[in-house]
Amino acid sequence: MAGRRAGSLRLLVVVVLMVTAWAGIGFRLFQLQIVKAAELKELGVEQRLKVRELAPERGSIFDRSGRELAVTIEGATVGADTTQVVRPEDTAALLAGTLRVDEQTVLDKLTGDRRWVTIARQVAPDLGDEVRRLDIPGIYIYPEPKRVYPEGSLAAQVLGFVDPDGKGLEGLEYRYNDELSGIPGELRVETDLSGRVIPQGQYEVRPAIPGSDLVTTIDRDIQYIAERECAAAVQSSEAERCTAVVLDPRTGEVLALAVQPGFDPNDHTAAPAERWVDWAVLGTYEPGSTQKLITVSAALEEHVVNWNTTFEVPDQIEVVEGACSGGEDYGCYRDFNRHDPATWSVKDIVTKSSNVGTILIQQELGRRALAEYIAKFGLGSKTGVDAPGEAEGIINLDPTCGPCFSSAAIGYSVSVTPLQMAAAYGAVANDGVWVQPHLVSEIVDGSGTRAPIEPATRQVISADTAQLMRFLLRNVVEEGTGHNAAVPGYSVGGKTGTARKNVPGVGYTDDFIVSFIGMAPIENPRIIVAVVVDSPQIGDTGGTVAAPVFSRIAEDTLHHLGVPPDAP
């Protein structure tokens, strides 16, 4: 009896346990299949769903006529699965010979502890084809976008370059990286555990939006002319550097911006980093006598002098008491060529580039007006050109500094960029209207919509003053220090500049920075050409070194633009 009751009790316990277990299983199934069905379904999809970013095509950069300066092509990247490489030494030798890379570096990669290694990124497609034909076990070739510069070193400092992932690092590539890069797309696809696409599974594509194209103001042919002549000047004068800017004074368009020596952006690491610098925009220097354009323009505009106002001009002037007698240059200014005291007009002072005469004009003008016009002409502030890292320059016009205003009048005590000075001369060429220089004329998006660039403008001096200054600048070339800047068949005006080089932390050295900035044709200027030569070892004045470079650039540019010669 007791045994039967014990058996019944065990059976009851088993039944209760089984019912409880099935109830638990049922409850769990209810939770999974009903309550959490949607959540688990989504989780399952997420585990199967693979998301891949689709890189957009980077926009191209063109010159003003639509000729390609920077484009993206499909390059080839070579990689290796080291577990599949059979003979590493032979493989390294074959790849090094084909790809023109270091054999030991390749061997180190193939014998390292990483399974997948990259041998060479973004090589030319034909090199990728050569490697593919070798049919080496474990070596794979896959496409990867590659940025190329069809014109090689032409306009390298303007264009800049990108990193291997296509991100702009210098020049326009950096300044307009967001516009050029476009917007990445996305691919969403369901795959099985082996990574194979599941038929009828989710497959969504959001296409990438291509980057916008840039149409620059650069004229490829004028850029070539400027670089050719700058390179020749560096060689003939044994200079450290030559910078040239060609500007349309009516529109502010930079037709050429040359810096020599240059580099090839297709292989920028082959050149020292200082060659990557756009010295026309980032480099500052004391302009010397080219600054006299601003001093004399201000005096004419303020009617404190006219072109025929005369001064008694000695060959030296003392603006700090005792400076000249004490043997110190601080506060004592001299003309480049010694001369007896002479009666010179403003025209004579500009033609002869007299430092002393210009300081006498500045003294009539006054300190406040000089400072105002230096600012009006754009010195000491960025032009706003669309290039990265533009320098402002430095204007040292401390009222407590005895000689600073006299120094500024003749191009010392101020530091400027070549582009600032080109724009200042552009204002005189453009009837007194300063126009903001720029490198990009319009941005064209993937749909073909064009967004033109509108430069800022401001009236700096009157049209009458500008016309009178052009007359004075013409005389500099025809009768004065700028005679080497003459262009056959065209009337030219401009100004020479010679300044001792001031090195930060060192002071003034025995080297010079020489320049010539001018315009042509003088009656209706179509171009401004600014030439700055750093540390020439053969020749030491703007008239002997920079003026001939101006002449050659201006002549070929005027011919290229189809500007007719002056009427007889």
Catalytic residue annotation:
289
Cα(530)–Cα(426) distance, integer angstroms = 10
The DSSP secondary structure of 14-80, one letter per residue, reads HHHHHHHHHHHHHHHHHIIIIISHHHHHHHHHHHHEEEEEEPPPPPPEE-TTS-EEEEEEEEEEEEE
Stated as kind and residue range, the H or E segment containing 566 is: none
Query: Quick check: 408 and 395 in contact, CB under 8 A?
Result: yes
**Got the DSSP string for 391-419?**
---EE---TT-TTHHHHHHTT-SEEB-HH
Beta strands 213-216; 61-62: pairing state: parallel
| Residues 524-559: b if buried by 16+ CB within 10 A, e if exposed | ebbbbbbbbbbbbeebbbbbbbbbbbbbbbbbbbbe
The residue with tokens 């005590």 is: 413
Q: Which amino acid is at 506?
A: V
The conformation of residue 267, written as its DSSP 8-state character, comes to G
Positive/negative CA dihedral, 123, 124, 127, 132: positive
Which amino acid makes up residue 252?
G
Residue 253, CA distances (Å) to 134, 249, 323, 441, 455 in order: 51, 8, 45, 8, 9
Q: Cα separation of 122 and 537, whole Å?
A: 42
Q: Could you tell me which of 350, 346, 347, 351 has the C-alpha nearest to residue 304?
A: 346
The answer to whether 84 and 74 have CB atoms below 8 angstroms apart is no
- Whether the CA torsion 455, 60, 65, 418 is positive or negative: it is positive
Question: 408-438 burial, b if ≥16 CB within 10 A, otherwise e?
Answer: bbbbbbbbbbbbbbbbbbbbbbbbbbbbbbb
> Which are the contacts of 220, defined by CB distance < 8 A and separation ≥ 6?
63, 65, 67, 69, 151, 154, 155
With 0-12 / 13-18 / 19 or more C-beta atoms within 10 angstroms meaning exposed / middle / buried, residue 260 is buried
User: 58: left (phi > 0), else alpha (psi -120 to 50), else beta?
Assistant: beta
Residue with tokens 């296409």: 207
